[in-house]
A and B are shown apart, each in its own frame.
Chain A
């Protein structure tokens, strides 16, 4: 059964592909296949940098983009930064609240030849997303199919999700969201935006807009275990390199590159709204190891007190003293 759908096979296969999508991805997306996260494979060697995916994302998600009210309420203290992208909605060379996907370019050397590469960048959809888990209000959430998304009706724009994201993906727009109805000058600063993997399309049995629009079938979406297998096969066939399988404890975006990611990372432009390709350790793991101790602590405390009590009463019986 075909379970991975890219644009070409989707269009070519027509009804068949649609059926197989309905039969495989959709149950996972809807949560029928418990614990199955969806992942995408991005074959960097195929990308021609045409930005059709970038346009498709903007078009598809236009309704979700912020519509801030101006002037913005004054925020205190003065240092609180205003993030306003509403007059720069056509910026496409980085991530912004209005651009959830951009193309990164690299010039690298392979076998003595110069190679021009391009690749789509957006949220990695981590398996255990710190943006979701550490959001203090529960405004960021992870769906059963592994998609992480920020609920723009609850987000206060404190930007903690961005601070804890290893790739600093979410972007803030001031002047929108629920903070305006609470204490706009003292708490909150808008709403954070990022790729939500077209969760609504997936729920409807469609594939994300960027995948559908790509003329080169750069991206493939499917259950994570199958995507991982496919990525390894591709890497083996092409002597390629993999990124995203183990980064931050594992993500649902698996890049396969013809050159090492260290080389790509050196060449790409990095900085605000432009994520890196660094090695990333699991940022949740230290605290989660300690989390086990939190769960054991009540039993350990009770056992220690009970142990002491029985030792104490035994010794009391033994020497016949009454304290």
Chain B
């Protein structure tokens, strides 16, 4: 396979890009709750910005753009190019389902924040709690998969 045609998941920088993006998404996501100041985390030199809601909000969006872009890129490549050779594992599907839920609830919250958009209050609470619940599920499943060495993809048996 020539270099330019390499799949995004085979690019050497992919792991780092994905890891850094997920890390900052989670960090800035937790920053939406007023906890970093209360628990002294924002007092650590260099981390004061974690208590600045408009900064963490902006960064959450920024990393969401990157994350959603690479997720869509990966899924499209999977469908078009590699699903004959490899398949997504069950744990992979589980994590993709969680990520899809995160993107769906996150997108609705992004729309909610535009001027003139209002959703019923009960719906907003469900969105907020689901987004939070899903990220906890993502962290938990990521941890379990790491411990059990579960991969996202596996080769199809010939």
Binding site for B on A (CB under 8 A): 35, 77, 79-80, 127-128, 133-134, 136-138, 141-142, 144, 151, 154, 158-160, 163-164, 187, 249, 283-284, 286-288, 290-291, 293-295, 297-302, 304-306, 308-309, 312, 323
Contacts and interface: CB of A to CB of B under 8 A. Distances in A.
A300 B106 CA distance: 17
B39 interface: yes
Interface in B111-158: 111-116, 118, 121, 124-125, 127-129
Contact of B68 (A138, A163, A298): A298
Given A283-B54, A297-B69, A79 B38 contact: yes
B95 interface: no
Given A133-B112, A137-B125, A284-B113, A305 B76 contact: yes
A294 B64 contact: yes
B58 interface: yes
A294 B113 contact: no
B87 interface: no
Chain B's interface size range is: 35 or more
B65 interface: yes
Contact of B115 (A249, A302, A306, A323): A249
Contacts of B129: 137
Interface string B29-52: 000111100111000000000000
B5 A312 contact: yes
Contact of B40 (A77, A290, A298, A304): A77
A306 B75 CA distance: 10
B34 A159 contact: yes
Complex A-B, nearest 5 residue pairs according to Cβ-Cβ distance, in ascending order: A301-B72, A305-B76, A128-B115, A138-B124, A158-B34
Contact of A294 (B4, B68, B124): B68
Given A79-B38, A142-B118, A301 B57 contact: no
Given A141-B124, A304-B73, A312-B5, A164 B53 contact: yes
Nearest to B54: A283
9 contacts: A134-B57, A136-B32, A136-B34, A163-B53, A287-B57, A290-B62, A297-B68, A301-B68, A302-B72
Nearest to A37: B116
Interface string B89-124: 000000000000001001100111111101001001
A249 B114 CA distance: 11
Nearest to B62: A290
B73 A138 contact: no
B15 interface: no
Nearest to B7: A305
B61 interface: yes
Given A136-B128, A323-B2, A301 B70 contact: yes
Contacts of B62: 290
Nearest to B128: A138
A302 B73 contact: yes
A160 B32 CA distance: 9
A90 to B, nearest CB: 30
A322 to B, nearest CB: 10
B115 A288 contact: yes
A61 B69 CA distance: 49
Contacts of B103: 298
B113 to A, nearest CB: 5
B123 to A, nearest CB: 8
Contacts of B74: 305
Contact of A291 (B75, B81, B110): B110
B80 A287 contact: no
Given A283-B54, A288-B113, A305 B77 contact: yes
A302 B57 contact: no
Given A290-B58, A304-B73, A306-B80, A35 B116 contact: yes
Interface centre among A163, A164, A293, A294 (most CB of B within 10 A): A294
Given A128-B115, A294-B107, A306-B80, A151 B121 contact: yes
